[in-house]
């Protein structure tokens, strides 16, 4: 996990349950779990591959609230001790924010039946990884040679076919940090990256919002971009000519994580939900098209398009300290949007 800061059963008589309305409500509540979920592909994937086994195995209904990470943090903060959902799903930056603000219950991985199948880097005192991401360079092999690293993107023939995006996403942020490092910057100093981008800005093929980049690549408006393996696999499944290149300075890795909301009254079901998500069958299903998630269960055979053959190999990839990045990210977003407009 990036920035590692390092889950009762009561039998009630039928007559009692019907006689006491409060107990009846508690029983109904125990038959469901509410999770925040990223809108779009994540929501669709969990509805298709997580909800059915959760219902079949535990008779628990999965209710989802489609919310981006920043909205999950904001909605919980406004809830005043009555959490609007039982589980968060977060990328590293918002995850660190949640830990710092005390938004999560302490996590007991021993309550997961699938704990032994999860690499230690995926589990800590606050939650568990539910999907991995590997970030590097995507290119069209019919249009440009394979780039050797991030520095190549600023040279011919790549620079005129390069599409870039800003700091709004995790993959964009860490890509720009890695570019900064190549040109003498650091995790907290992105000046060299911005300086190099400004030099070549008139030559670039595209500057777009993160969600627009796959479409721009598919339409041929750019032929090289920094992105993750999930996007590469998804575009390849659509018949797009695209390959993934590991930069000479190494691929970057991060995990999307699940957390139990502090104050949840549904903790037992939250653990069952998380256990189903990380199970071998669900992780294998999520790895397949059209979702192409990178699995976190070591019992799942990784797809051929990934730059590693086991999850343990991800320990050698570049990771980032989001306790240092988070305070700087807002100004970075504003500056990129202002200075990189074409």
Q: Taking the CA of residue 334 as centre, how many other CA atoms within 13 Å lie in the half-sphere pointing to its CB?
A: 4
Interaxial angle between packed helices 322-339 and 92-100, expressed in degrees from 0 to 180 and rounded to the nearest 10: 130
Asked if the model's pLDDT at residue 4 lies above 60, the reply is no
Chosen CATH of 14-132+253-316 out of 3.40.1280.10, 3.10.580.10, 3.40.190.10, 3.40.50.12280: 3.40.190.10
Q: Indicate if 134-252+320-339 has the same CATH topology as 14-132+253-316.
A: yes
Strand 128-139 versus strand 61-66 pairing type: unpaired
- The answer as to CATH 3.40.50.300 being correct for domain 134-252+320-339 is no
Q: What is the pTM of this model?
A: 0.86
Quote the pLDDT of residue 315.
87
pLDDT for 342: 62
- Per the CB < 8 A criterion, the answer to whether 196 and 240 are in contact is no
d(CA 296, CA 315): 13
What pLDDT, in 10s, does the model give residues 36-86?
Answer: 999 999 999 999 999 999 999 999 999 999 999 999 999 999 998 899 999
Is 176 in contact with 193 (CB distance < 8 Å)? yes
Domains of the chain, residue spans:
14-132+253-316, 134-252+320-339
């Amino acid at each position: 996990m990036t920035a590692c800061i390092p889950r009762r059963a009561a039998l009630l008589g039928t007559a009692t349950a019907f006689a006491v309305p409060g107990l009846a409500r508690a029983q109904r509540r125990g038959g469901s779990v509410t999770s925040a979920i990223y809108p779009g592909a994540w929501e669709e994937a969990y509805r298709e591959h997580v909800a059915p086994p959760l219902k079949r195995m535990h008779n628990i209904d999965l209710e989802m609230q489609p919310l981006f990470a920043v909205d999950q943090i904001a909605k919980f903060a406004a809830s005043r001790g009555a959490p609007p959902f039982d589980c968060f799903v977060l990328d590293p930056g918002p995850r660190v924010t949640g830990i710092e603000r005390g938004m999560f219950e302490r996590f007991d991985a021993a309550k997961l039946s699938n704990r032994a199948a999860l690499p230690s880097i995926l589990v800590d005192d606050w939650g568990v990884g539910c999907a991995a991401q590997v970030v590097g360079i995507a290119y069209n092999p019919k249009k440009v040679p394979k780039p050797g690293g991030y520095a190549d993107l600023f040279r011919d023939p790549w620079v005129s076919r390069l599409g870039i995006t800003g700091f709004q996403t995790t993959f964009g942020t860490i890509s720009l940090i890695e570019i900064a490092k190549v040109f003498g910057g650091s995790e907290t100093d992105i000046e060299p990256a911005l300086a190099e981008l400004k030099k070549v800005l008139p030559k670039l093929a595209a500057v777009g919002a993160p969600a627009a980049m796959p479409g721009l690549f598919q339409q041929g408006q750019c032929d090289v971009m920094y992105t993750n393996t999930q996007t590469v696999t998804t575009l390849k499944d659509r018949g797009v000519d695209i390959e993934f290149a590991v930069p000479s300075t190494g691929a970057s890795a991060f995990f999307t994580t699940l957390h139990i909301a502090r104050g949840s009254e549904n903790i037992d079901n939250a653990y069952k939900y998380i256990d189903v998500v990380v199970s071998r069958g669900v992780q294998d299903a999520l790895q397949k098209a059209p979702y192409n998630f990178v699995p976190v269960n070591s019992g799942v055979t990784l797809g051929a398009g990934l730059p590693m053959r086991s999850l343990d190999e991800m320990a050698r990839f570049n990771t980032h300290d989001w306790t240092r990045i988070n305070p700087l990210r807002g100004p970075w977003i504003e500056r990129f949007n202002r200075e990189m407009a074409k």
